[in-house]
Amino acid sequence: MPSNSFTPGTEPPGCPGRPEPPQLVRALGLWGATSIVVGIMIGSAIFIVPAEIAREVGSERGALAVWLVTGLLSLFGALSFAELAAMMPQAGGQYIYLREGYGPLVSFLCGWMFFLIQQSGGIATLAVGMAQYLANFLPLGSWGEKAAAAGAIVVLTAINYRGVRQGGWVQLLLTGINVGIVVSLIAFGFSLASGRPPGPASLPTPAGTRYFASFGVAMVAALWAYEGWNNVTFAAGEVERPERTLPLALVVGTALVIAIYGGLNLVYFRVLTLSEIAASPRVAADAARRLVGPWGSQLTAVAIVVAVFGSLNGSILAGARVYYAMAKDRLFFRWCAAVHPRFRTPHLSLVVQGLWSCLLVLLADYEQLFTYTVFAAWIFYALTALAVIILRRTRPELPRPYRVPGYPVVPVVFVLTAAAFVLNMLAEKTREAGIGTLIVAAGIPVYWLWRGKRRAGAAGRPSPG
């Protein structure tokens, strides 16, 4: 059964006569929270995955439709999550919402998936993508790329270890630089390119119902580019005025990214032919080279390195708060619930996340990681949005400073579309989806193991005070 002990903004009291342990501090304002949303979403994918989308749907109109549909789907998700975030502004975000909506098993499986695949795997994937673009400047080689990826994870983990303010400042700086570069590329594209380059208007694609299956596969790539809008909820326990800041950050940040992605894709189609886009592993670099010459690809590589650093930093900052929340529930290593007495960060959760992410860098390639990540994540996205409706019925007494506009249509559309996407993934990417499902299911015996330890610990503890 779902937990009935939640009270927004409260933490379990300490024992009388004992010093209170250090707590997280609310130090992230609106700009910092919004920069987490935008910075995590605009990573390396928007510069790479348009090629796969073009191959799957075979036309400019189809590719733009993929970006629009997935963008609106992400916005509907952000609107739904915003109600939960304002209602339950605790560290852990989505993990907390699932716990209150469905009980500890479902929330644990989400946290388990975050640790093994979605969050840590996303961090590893971003780092690998960044290292691939560093190869434009340095002769890294295969193992050199892996070392560079792991090094980036270590550096940014160390920064966030020293404080959420420091992590937030780095996030705001990197996101500002990133958005500035991307907007400049869009401006150059519309000012320097006129009309469309000559070339075929379409590519061979499956017909009939098979086209819709290909459209769904193309959505996998686009959703990876939109991935991360939910991460700011993980750090909700450190956001100032969370009942106002979190909904604004989620909605404004997601809408801004939709506009930026739309502009970038229009530039790609103004500069490159459809065949060139479909064949290019580095679409943005090729478009920049066509616009401003050979140094354009170097500038794009710099932009991607900055973008990925921002996405990495936000992911590292946010993800560790999930394992911190799990540890507080005694469903993860208990020492991961510790808060650093000086820096006021979940420092041990950050270290564990960093170590596992570095290991994943050595285990899998870019495409494998993002396929596992997107499929597993959307199962829990659908469940979380559905929790908006469930909690309206089961917990009507909870304060709701923000309510989803268009309720219940917005969360229902999001849930149904996400479910259709997951089913299409099972049909079209059966192996990858199957591996993701098995890894999540493997968390069930682990949950019972942790729960047994928690009960044993509770039975052996003296009464409080």
DSSP string of 16-67, one letter each residue: TTSPPPP-----B-HHHHHHHHHHHHSSSGGGTTHHHHHHHH-BHHHHHHHH
5-19, 64-78, 147-161: the lowest-pLDDT one: 5-19
- How many angstroms separate the CA atoms of 183 and 391, rounded? 40
**Which band of pLDDT confidence, cut at 50, 70 and 90, is reported for residue 64?**
very high
Q: What is the pLDDT of residue 318?
A: 94
Please name which of 171, 138, 139, 129 lies closest in space to residue 361, comparing C-alpha atoms.
Answer: 129
The CATH H-level (homologous superfamily) assignment of domain 30-452 is Amino acid/polyamine transporter I (1.20.1740.10)
Q: What is the pLDDT of residue 195?
A: 66
Report the C-alpha dihedral over residues 410, 414, 420, 423, rounded to 10 degrees. -150
Q: Which residues contact 324 (CB under 8 A, 6 or more apart)?
A: 91, 92, 336, 337, 339, 346, 349
- How many angstroms separate the CA atoms of 164 and 162, rounded? 7
Please name which of 381, 320, 63 lies closest in space to residue 203, comparing C-alpha atoms.
Answer: 63
Q: What pTM, to 2 d.p., does this model score?
A: 0.87
List the Cα angle 316/328/319 in 5-degree steps.
10
- How many angstroms separate the CA atoms of 327 and 320, rounded? 11
**Which band of pLDDT confidence, cut at 50, 70 and 90, is reported for residue 90?**
very high
Residue 464 pLDDT > 50: no
Q: What is the pLDDT of residue 431?
A: 83
Q: What is the pLDDT of residue 254?
A: 94
- How many angstroms separate the CA atoms of 22 and 5, rounded? 22
Summarize pLDDT for 223-275 with one digit per residue, the tens. 888 988 899 999 999 999 999 999 999 999 999 999 999 999 999 998 888 88
**Which band of pLDDT confidence, cut at 50, 70 and 90, is reported for residue 465?**
very low
Q: What is the mean pLDDT of the chain?
A: 86
170-179, 213-222, 249-258, 332-341: the lowest-pLDDT one: 213-222
In the structure encoding, which two tokens stand for residue 96, read together? 């907390």
Q: What is the pLDDT of residue 157?
A: 96
- How many angstroms separate the CA atoms of 249 and 206, rounded? 39
List the Cα angle 271/277/279 in 5-degree steps.
140
Report the C-alpha dihedral over residues 74, 76, 79, 84, rounded to 10 degrees. -90
